[in-house]
Structures are given as structure tokens and as C-alpha cells.
């Protein structure tokens, strides 16, 4: 569930729109190639995206959907050589990304020993979602992901509760900040072990030195959040994109498998 840009046809650089803002230096409509997209589908300013005003590109993660669409759904046929594939290919990308994000979270939940009571259901769900990713392009483009996301989310919630209930003091059952508006909150050094921060707005929050072990961070908005010195080991459903959008340092402790962002 990791992006492999070398096996993708630059789909995110074409299919997705962006608007001139703090995250993007200029407007680009959906379906138009970014002016920095090279003929080999690489990015001409990849090493300096932030300096050039394209921070939004650095926090985007397709969870491996780009190469799945390029190499599996369209069997290596690219939109430049076969322009007739472009519209459908670009329509499939966001659907595949949603499905791959679900697979990524399901895979993580299956590594959690405390979630063993729901491992069977998690495996069955992963198999169902994987089958969806192998559907023909027309079926994928028309797929309504919502019911599948809801079903998976229910299982992820059960897994999260089982893990967080085992946090010190059983805090997982009592510390529910799901969807909370914590924008700019002063949480320096806070003990948030076992807390639910699912979908919480943590933009520019001070989480420096905070203990976020076994905290559920799925969908939490960490843009410009201060994670310097925070302990995120064992946190649940944290993604690379969330880390890329936040601020941290060499003292920030991260879950295994998630690299430290280059700008920290």
C-alpha cells in the first residue's frame, strides 16, 4: 500500500485539480498535466516541491493506487500513448485510492494483537476490498465506495476500541475526542495514550512532547501541528501524509514503517 511513482503514469499530477493557495503555487484543473510533469512521468521539481510552493504535493499519498491503476487496471497502457484511456483512467484513480486506503488500515489492524477477536472479520473485509480493486475500469469508475468504507470503518472502530481499552488505566474507553475541534490547542506534554482522536481538527495544535501511544489518529488533521518530541510509537492508523503535513524533529518517536519527513 505504498506509492511507487516509477510504475505510475503520473496520474496524481494530471487527474487531480489544485487551486493556488498556501499549498499550491498556481491553479490546475482536473485532467490537465501539471507544468512540471516530465515526459517520463516524473516530477521536474520533486526535490524542491516545498520551496517552489507545492507543499500540497508532498502530503498527498495514493497508498499505491497509482501503480495499481497504471499496471493492473490498464495493464501498462499509458494515457499519453493511448489518449482514449485518459478520461476513464483519471476517473478510476480516486476510487482506487479510497480502496487502497481501506486496505492499508485493514492491514495495520491485522498486526494488532489486542484486536485478535476481530481479525477474522478484518481478513474477510480485506479480501472483499482487494477483489474490488481488480474490477474492470468501467466498474471501478462507477463504484460507490461509501458502503464499503462504512463497513470497514465499523471493523476498524472495534479494533481501535480493543487496543485502546488496554491502554494504561483503561483510558481507551473514556477519552473520546472523535471529531473534536482542537485547532491550536495547547496539548504540550499531554498524556493522550489510548485517546480517540479520529477525525479531530488538530491544525496548529501544540502536541510537543505529548504521549500519543495507542491513540487513534485515523483522519486526524495534523496540518502544522507541533509534534516535536512527541511519542507516536504504537499510535493507530497514522499515515505518512499526516506526518508530512505536521512539524516534528529528530526527537519525535514514530511508528515502525513510517519514515521521518525530510523537512523535519
Mean pLDDT (whole number) for 4-13: 96
Q: How many CA atoms lie within 13 A of 42 on its CB side?
A: 6
What is the rounded average pLDDT for all residues in the chain?
95
* 13-29 tens-digit pLDDT: 999 999 999 999 999 99
Give yes or no for residue 167 having a pLDDT over 90: no
DSSP codes, 89-142: HHHHHHHHHHHHHHHHHHHHHTT-GGGGGGHHHHHHHHHHHHHHHTS-HHHHHH
Question: What would the mean pLDDT of 29-40 be, rounded to a whole number?
Answer: 96
pLDDT at 174 over 60: no
Rounded to two decimals, the pTM is 0.93
According to DSSP, residue 173 is labeled: G
**pLDDT (tens digit per residue) in 133-157:** 999 999 999 999 999 999 999 999 9
Rounded CA-CA distance 83/65 in Å is 20
Tens digits of per-residue pLDDT, 190-239? 999 999 999 999 999 999 999 999 999 999 999 999 999 999 999 999 99
Amino acid at each position: 500500500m505504498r506509492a511507487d511513482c516509477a510504475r505510475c503514469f503520473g496520474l496524481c499530477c494530471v487527474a487531480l485539480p489544485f487551486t493556488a493557495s498556501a499549498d499550491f503555487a498556481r491553479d490546475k484543473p482536473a485532467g490537465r498535466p501539471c507544468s512540471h510533469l516530465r515526459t517520463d512521468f516524473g516530477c521536474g521539481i520533486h526535490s524542491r516541491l516545498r520551496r517552489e510552493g507545492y507543499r500540497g504535493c508532498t502530503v498527498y499519498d495514493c497508498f499505491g493506487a497509482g501503480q495499481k491503476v497504471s499496471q493492473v487496471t490498464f495493464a501498462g497502457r499509458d494515457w499519453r500513448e493511448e489518449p482514449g484511456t485518459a478520461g476513464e483512467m483519471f476517473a478510476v484513480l480516486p476510487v482506487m485510492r479510497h480502496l487502497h486506503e481501506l486496505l492499508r488500515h485493514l492491514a495495520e489492524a491485522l498486526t494488532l494483537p489486542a484486536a485478535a477477536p476481530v481479525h477474522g472479520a478484518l481478513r474477510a473485509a480485506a479480501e472483499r476490498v482487494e477483489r474490488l480493486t481488480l474490477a474492470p475500469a468501467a466498474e471501478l469508475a462507477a463504484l460507490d465506495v461509501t458502503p464499503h468504507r462504512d463497513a470497514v470503518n465499523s471493523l476498524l472502530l472495534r479494533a481501535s476500541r480493543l487496543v485502546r481499552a488496554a491502554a494504561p488505566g483503561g483510558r481507551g474507553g473514556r477519552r473520546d475526542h472523535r471529531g473534536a475541534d482542537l485547532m491550536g490547542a495547547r496539548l504540550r506534554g499531554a498524556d493522550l495514550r489510548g485517546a480517540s482522536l479520529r477525525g479531530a481538527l488538530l491544525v496548529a495544535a501544540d502536541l510537543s512532547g505529548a504521549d500519543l501511544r495507542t491513540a487513534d489518529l485515523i483522519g486526524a488533521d495534523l496540518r502544522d501541528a507541533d509534534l516535536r518530541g512527541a511519542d507516536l510509537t504504537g499510535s493507530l492508523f497514522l499515515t505518512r501524509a499526516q506526518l508530512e503535513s505536521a512539524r516534528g524533529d529528530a526527537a519525535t518517536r514514530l511508528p515502525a514503517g513510517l519514515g521521518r519527513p525530510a523537512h523535519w
